[in-house]
Amino acid sequence: MSKVITNPVIRGFNPDPSIVRVGDDYYIATSTFEWFPGVQLHHSKDLVHWRLIGHALTRTPQLCMTGMDNSEGVYAPALTFSDKKFWLCFSNVHSCRGGTWMATPSFLVTADNIEGPWSDPVSIGNYGFDPSLFHDDDGKKYVLNMMWDGRANTNFFGGIMLQEFDPKTNALVGKAHNIFAGTELGCTEGPQMLKKGGYYYLITAEGGTERNHAVTVARSKDILGPYEVHPDNPILTSRFQEGAPLQRAGHGFLVETQDQEWYLSHLCGRPVPNPEGYQYMPSYDNAYSVLGRESALQKAHWQDGWPYVTTGKVPLVEVEAPNLPAAPWPQQPDTDHFETSTLNLHFQTLREPMTDDWGSLIERPGHLRLKGRHYLASRYQNSLVARRIQSHYARIETSMEFSPSVPMQMAGLVAYYSRNGHYFLKQSANNQGESILQVVGNINDQYREYSEEIVVEGNATVHLRLDLDKQWYQFSYSLDGQSWIAIGPPLNSTYLSDEGGPDIFRFTGPFAALFACDLTGQNLHADFDYFRYVEPKQ
């Protein structure tokens, strides 16, 4: 191949890719769950090179996630373009745990420009998560979403709903129809629709977002059905292919290039085995997605009125690129010196935007100041600023000034998956008021201390480092920025993954985070001078 797409095209925690082409530009929207701002937006001109260009949900009137738990929040956004503007559907999922009815309020926002500003949200129902908007060629618009059924003796997935949407009144109209019950793969979700050759093609995610995940296609001449299933369903899956480098393949959508080539977007995972051999869920075959679910592309074609993945059902790492001019993006700097008044696009915060009462880039120019609030285990008021870890081999480094006087004051560098799945290199104080460094963590609600307390003289600047070597995290510190000392043992990265605990509702990925905590209520601040993220190798 002269030009190759190398998967995943959007690495790290970026699942549920919804792809659209507008002229010569391609855009993918991905899920963000409890992270703010909501919905990551990515741009490419050749399907090979992608870059993050912004977020759709940047204001709390668009997205309120106060008190949400791990892996709640924004599920599976769906991006479309029609009537000279962008349309984005999403769910803000509450109460995903409990084994019963789930609250899934769903919304629509629009923008004239992909980079915003995006409108305030319009309600589009509460049937279930994964809503999308289909723009028919007769001018009508329809909302699709899966139906969540919390009654006893159900599998919770109640089929795919369709209802007309009136853009003039911004409201659902008419009757809601259950148009597709799904196939024997089960867990039918993620519906998106396209029309081609007089057929409506319904593309869904099935099998559950783990090793049995898949892309299913069905079609009908009538938008209300009945829908016939693809004769070789599913068209993409990694199930029963334990040796495939891209696992968990599913949740896809099709896009056509300017030259009438077709590609299928889909999520995937690059799992590694637990080096300690422990498994919470034997069904996962000791495979842990330590970078979360990622986004990939496969070449597709049409045959006898059906779409097929050109190279077969199993996703490939290297895929033939389209006949488009190469369009690489400029190299991004690896170090953020906090010299702007707003956070870098790659940073996100938990459940709420950074506001002046707890975080600032201007109070001390050239520094990120975080004012301590709740501890990491809280679902509220986390003074935490984080960046995705996007490679199996990564190094994160920062320097910090912090003056704790009691053990309830802590700040430092965190390897963060969830409030009950993280490792923390903290600076704090012991009972004598001496400043100390220590590695602690929480794995599945078990608080642990991984190192002894190391006393550091005075309140000098401390440099902190986190290295990921595929299955192991290692913390280090330095008092001069030159000589580094490992602190604590290598820490198992597989616990900070979707499969790393007994809770089946784990859908995100690992972050490297700057964090400050002050349980005295005095909001003692920590100042971070820089944040460096490098990937020594892929």
- SS3 of 126, please? coil
How far, in Å, CA of 308 to CA of 502, rounded?
A: 36
294 is catalytic: no
Task: Please give, one letter per residue, the 3-state secondary structure of 147-159.
Answer: EECCCCCCCCEEE
189 is catalytic: yes
The conformation of residue 301, written as its DSSP 8-state character, comes to E
Beta-ladder partners of 393: 469
> Among all chains, which residue has been given the structure tokens 């790290």?
12
| Token pair for 247 | 């696992």
Beta-ladder partners of 460: none
- SS3 of 198, please? coil
How far, in Å, CA of 469 to CA of 402, rounded?
A: 28
Query: Is the peptide bond preceding residue 117 cis, with omega within 30 degrees of 0?
Result: yes
Out of 34, 46, 69, 189, which one is annotated catalytic?
189
How many separate helices (H) and strands (E) can be counted in the chain?
0, 40
How far, in Å, CA of 413 to CA of 24, rounded?
A: 41
Element (H or E) spanning 36, and its range?
Answer: strand 35-36
As a whole number of Å, the end-to-end CA separation of the chain is 21
| Token pair for 249 | 């393949």
Closest CA to 185 of 151, 165, 212: 212
How far, in Å, CA of 227 to CA of 331, rounded?
A: 46
How far, in Å, CA of 227 to CA of 352, rounded?
A: 41
Over the range 73-103, which residues count as b (16 or more CB within 10 Å of their CB) and which as e? bbbbbbbbbbeeebbbbbbbbeebeeeeebe
Please work out, in degrees rounded to the nearest 5, the angle formed at the alpha carbon of residue 443 by the alpha carbons of 440 and 447: 50
Burial class (CB in 10 A: 0-12, 13-18, 19+), 160: buried
Catalytic residue positions? 16, 189
